[in-house]
Structures are given as structure tokens and as C-alpha cells.
Amino acid sequence: MTRQPDVLIVGAGPAGLSAAVELARHGLTSGLVEQRDQVGGAIYRHHVGTGSYTLVMPEHHRRRRDLLIQGLAGAGGQVQQMLQSVLIGVDRDGRFLIDNRPLGRVQSLRPKAVILAVGTVEQVTPREGWELPGVVTAGGMQVQFKETGRAPTGPIVLAGGGPLLLALAAQLAAAGNPPLAVLERAQPLSSMWWQGRAVLQALRSWPDLLEAALYTRELLHARVPYLMGWQVASVQAKDTGLLVTAQHNSGLQRQFQVQHLALHDGLRPNTTGLPVAGEGAAGCIVHAGDCREVLGAAAAVNDGRRAARQVMRYLGQPFADDRRLDQAIAAARRTQTALATLFQAPPIVPTANTVLCRCEGQRRANFERLQVAGSARELRLVGRFGMGACQGRYCASAVSALAHEHGIEFDPGALNGDVQRWPMRPVALTALAAYADEQLV
Amino acid sequence: MQENPPQTLYWHLQAVPFHLGETIAAALLRAGIVVLGDAAGGMQGRYFCGIGNCQACLVSVDGASPVEACLTPAQPGMCLTPALQASSTPGVAT
């Protein structure tokens, strides 16, 4: 990097890209930090495989992606891309520490303003056997499919809840390997009868309806069973694959022998370890896109622009609020709230043998043995919950729910501790040793 | 479609083909390698979230500190080993 950019943006998905383009349009420079070797984020993951490939995706997604990439090209040197680089935290003096992996060293930046757009964490509620190799998140299966253009080989089951399962099932079907079944915990169709208001709100979003129709047509064509009111009770390693035991709300059970099981129980903002949003003498920090509120890619583009405008105002440029951006984001929120209502499902209760914390191999039985743990701090220090490499991103909400049953109250975020600690992500000691303060002006 | 001839990396001593631009995780999946070695707490390493959040797919490249297989671009000649094995052998990291 040749000079300190005006604004640091972390994450080059729809929100980060949109913010970078908007800043450049108004003459501001940004440093765009992205953990992958290309921009676009998980939603716009590039296809790098060979041969033909069909990604079932609505046209409006493609248009938005192309506009962002064009905008980035138009911004030229005003956006300094730092690829394969990871934000590992903020130190006591407010320096943002970036693990620049191609350079093999940690760099620091102290920008006047920061836009954090690091997307979501996919929720996977612990079930017996979810920790086994071959079990992936639905989003994890989807990004790999986008990248290679190939569906995983062997039988697949998708399970959990929400519209992403439908999208992924349609994409796999179009690629020639339809899942054996989609197990949806909720009863979205019957919910429609008694959640009329939610249906009306969802109907107001025409692009989302078209998207749902596109996926449904593909699933009907491939005859993929969409089983509602079903959930995964357990997963066992069997032969060279997985034996998935599914259970209906009525108690009825069914088994599937598969190679791959993709789970998805919703999305949550990926804020673990991030500094909180706010404006102060030390600078301005804005969360944007799904990292602020999970509303999807279209809203993230608008939210990125809004974040850029907030930053420009902070830096002294006279910008009025843009009502249209606010309205578009509010509309996305209505749709998401309606979908959440339609896909409401009973909670999954972990059995004693269920792994709660995969990083440390801690099961529910280990939790129950922690008689003395009366606080989030003790759960961390004695029980090791939230102390693993994922830093509680996957176990914190489940542990919090169990603790609640035992009369211990804490926010899932509390599992990470009161004090922000870095690194948020593993970093090589060699990269830390080669640290260089980049206070270049 | 651009030419993108297959390249090779190694998981232990097993040759794994890939195309430039793919992640390590994509190459391993195609080769049918889903168990990425022993992990802490009696668990096994595996690909899971695909976006660097879960840290379950950490592998060591040429004996160095672990990196996420789901984020790291595959490169010709890489020698991959499970993350835990590398970190528990003092003096191996370069």
C-alpha cells in the first residue's frame, strides 16, 4: 500500500464493494480488505472450473453483481484491494491489524473511518453427529458448488430450515445431482393459513417471489421431495458415508444413507470480535450489509451505499440522508421478517451425546457436569465453551440456550468475554514477527 | 471457456489434481478427501462453513502454520498435512 486510504473497508461482498464504489464516486480512497483471492464474497463466488456450468440464479442477482464489478473497475486506483488478507483485530491504540497473507506479515492501519462488512455466520443448531466430516453448512456446499461448477458426488440430503435450502436444492438438481430430500423443520405451507399477514408482506416482494418460483419449478422437475415438519435427529458415520436419521413432528422416523449432509438453521450477523459501531473522536466505525442486519445481497448493496454516505458525512462532506436507500432496506426487512415467521420451527433439543462445541469436542454431557459454572466466564474458563478456534461463532447460541434452562443468563456474545481480544482468527507467528506499522501518509 | 490445465498438489503423499483458481478445499473434495486429520477434543478436521468462520478445515501447507482450506488458493506442488500434526511437532514450522 503506497498511502493511507481515507476509509478502511473489511469484506468485499456486496456491501463492501458497494461502499467502495460509492466512496470512489465522491473522490474518497479506500483500502478494501478481502480474505479470498478475489472480490465478490460468498454470494458472488466466481466459477473457476472447466466445462459448462449452470447456476440457477435469478437475473437480478447477476445484474447487481455485474454493476458492482463494473463500478469497481471504474474506481481504478481509488480502491486499493488487499486480497487474501484478514482482519485479526483492533489493538489497544485503535490500530486495525490485517494479516496480509501474500506478504506473510501483519500490517496495521489507523484510518479515520472503517466500514465492516464481513457478512454472516450460518447457524447450525447442534444435533447428534453434526460434527462429522461430510456434514457441511448449506452455504458451505453452495460456495463450493459455485466455485467448481460441480455438485458433490454421491447422495445428498439438505436439512434445517429456510429458503436457502430450496435455492441450493434447485442448484444441485440443475447440476445433475438432486438431493434425496430436503428436510424442512418448519411447516411454511400450513403457516400460510394462519399467518396471513406474513404472507401478504412476503407477496409484496416481487423479485423474491420470482426467485421462489424459479427454484420450485426446478425442484418439481427433478422430483426432489420437500419434506416439511421433518428434522435430522442424528447422524452416524456408516460405511464410507453418513447414516442420517430424520424424524417428523409426529414421531415418524426415516433414514437416508448419504455422502453429504448440508445443514442450515438461518443466518446471523458475523460480529464476533468486531469493534462496535459508533462515531467518536477516535474515528467512525460502521457495520454494513449482512454484518449489520441479515437482509440479503440486494439490501446489502443499498446498506453499503448508506454506510459510505454516513462515513462521508463524518468526514465533513455535506450529505443528506437518502430516503430511497432507507425505504429499500426497510422493504427488505419486511420480507425477511415475513419469511422468518413462515419458517418458524420448534427448537432442536441436543441429546447428552450431542457435541455443542466442535472446536474443543465438548458435548452436552460435559455441560451438564459443570455444576459449578454460574456465569459465562466460568463456562469459558472451566467448560472451555466458546474458547475454541471459531471463538463461539457456532456454539455460543446453543450454550446460551442451555444455560438459560439452568437459570444462568447471558448474551451469547458474552461467551467471547468482556474485553475484545485479538487475534480473531489464527495468525502465523512468523506474520506477527514480521509486523510493520504502516502509518504512511 | 479458457484453458485451465489440471495441476497437482499433495495431501500427505497422495497426488490431488486441481485447476488454478480453486481453493484447497475444492481440490480435496473432488479427490474424495473429507477427513482432514485429527482435531482437538477427539474431533476430526473437515470442510464445513466455506467462508473462514468455523476454522474446522485448517490444514498446514508445507509444514507452516495452519490456514483455512476453504479460503486458501491451491497452488502446484503444495504439500498439505493436517493442522494438528504440524503444530504438535516442534521445529517443523518454517
Q: Grid coordinates in use for B74?
A: 491451491
- Identify the pLDDT of residue A371: 67
Q: What's the pLDDT tens digit per position in B18-63?
A: 999 999 999 999 999 999 999 999 999 999 999 999 999 999 999 9
d(CA A38, CA A154): 29
Beta bridge partners of A279: A284
- Identify the pLDDT of residue A254: 97
- Identify the pLDDT of residue B86: 47
Domain map of chain A by residue range? 7-121+269-317, 124-265, 355-415
Residue A84 has pLDDT above 70, yes or no: yes
Q: Do domains A7-121+269-317 and A124-265 have the same CATH topology?
A: yes
From B65, B53, B72, select the one nearest B89 (Cα to Cα).
B65
- Identify the pLDDT of residue A321: 76
Q: Identify the weakest region by mean pLDDT among A32-41, A249-258, A269-278, A294-303.
A: A269-278
Q: Which of A42, A52, A133 sits opposite B34 (nearest CB)?
A: A133
- Distance in Å, alpha carbon of A167 to nearest chain B alpha carbon: 17
d(CA A31, CA A275): 18
Contact call for A51 and B22, based on CB within 8 A: no
* Cβ neighbours of residue A429 closer than 8 Å, sequence gap 6 or more: B65, B93
CATH number listed for the domain at residues A124-265:
3.50.50.60
- Identify the pLDDT of residue A439: 53
Contact call for B49 and A425, based on CB within 8 A: no
- Distance in Å, alpha carbon of B34 to nearest chain A alpha carbon: 6
- Distance in Å, alpha carbon of A33 to nearest chain B alpha carbon: 14
Residues A6 and A441 sit within 8 Å (Cβ to Cβ): no
Q: What's the pLDDT tens digit per position in A215-224?
A: 999 999 999 9
State the pTM of this model: 0.93
CATH number assigned to the domain with residue range A7-121+269-317, chosen from the 4 options 2.40.30.10, 3.40.718.10, 3.50.50.60, 3.90.920.10: 3.50.50.60
From A267, A266, A14, select the one nearest A120 (Cα to Cα).
A267
**Average pLDDT, stretch A276-297?**
92
Interface test with A, best of B16, B48, B58, B67 (most A CBs within 10 A): B48
**Average pLDDT, stretch A294-309?**
96
* Cβ neighbours of residue A290 closer than 8 Å, sequence gap 6 or more: A13, A15, A119, A120, A267, A269, A270, A296, A300
Average pLDDT across chain A, whole number: 90
Percentage above 90 pLDDT, chain A: 66
Q: Which residue has the higher pLDDT, B64 or A136?
A: A136
Q: Using the CB atoms, write b or e for A104-142: b if 16+ within 10 Å.
A: ebbbbbbbbbbbbbbbbbbbbbbbbbbbbbbbbbbbbbb
The phi and psi torsions of B44 (rounded to 5 degrees) equal -125, 145
- Identify the pLDDT of residue B50: 96
Listed in sequence order, the DSSP H helices in A184-230 are 188-194, 196-203, 206-222
Q: Could you tell me the maximum CA-CA distance found in chain A, to the nearest angstrom?
A: 67
Give residue B89's pLDDT band: very low, low, confident or very high (50, 70, 90).
Answer: very low
Contact call for B48 and A137, based on CB within 8 A: yes
Q: State yes or no: ipTM above 0.90.
A: yes
B23 interaction partners in chain A (CB closer than 8 Å): 144, 147
What domains are there in chain B, each with its CATH number?
A: 7-87 (3.10.20.440)
User: Which region, left, alpha or beta, applies to residue A70 given φ > 0 means left and ψ of -120 to 50 means alpha?
Assistant: alpha
Q: Which residue has the higher pLDDT, A239 or B49?
A: B49
Q: What's the pLDDT tens digit per position in A145-197?
A: 999 999 999 999 999 999 999 999 999 999 999 999 999 999 988 887 777 77
d(CA A215, CA A157): 17
Q: In what order do the strands lie in the sheet with A283-287?
A: A79-82, A30-33, A7-10, A113-116, A283-287, A278-280
Contact call for A48 and B22, based on CB within 8 A: yes
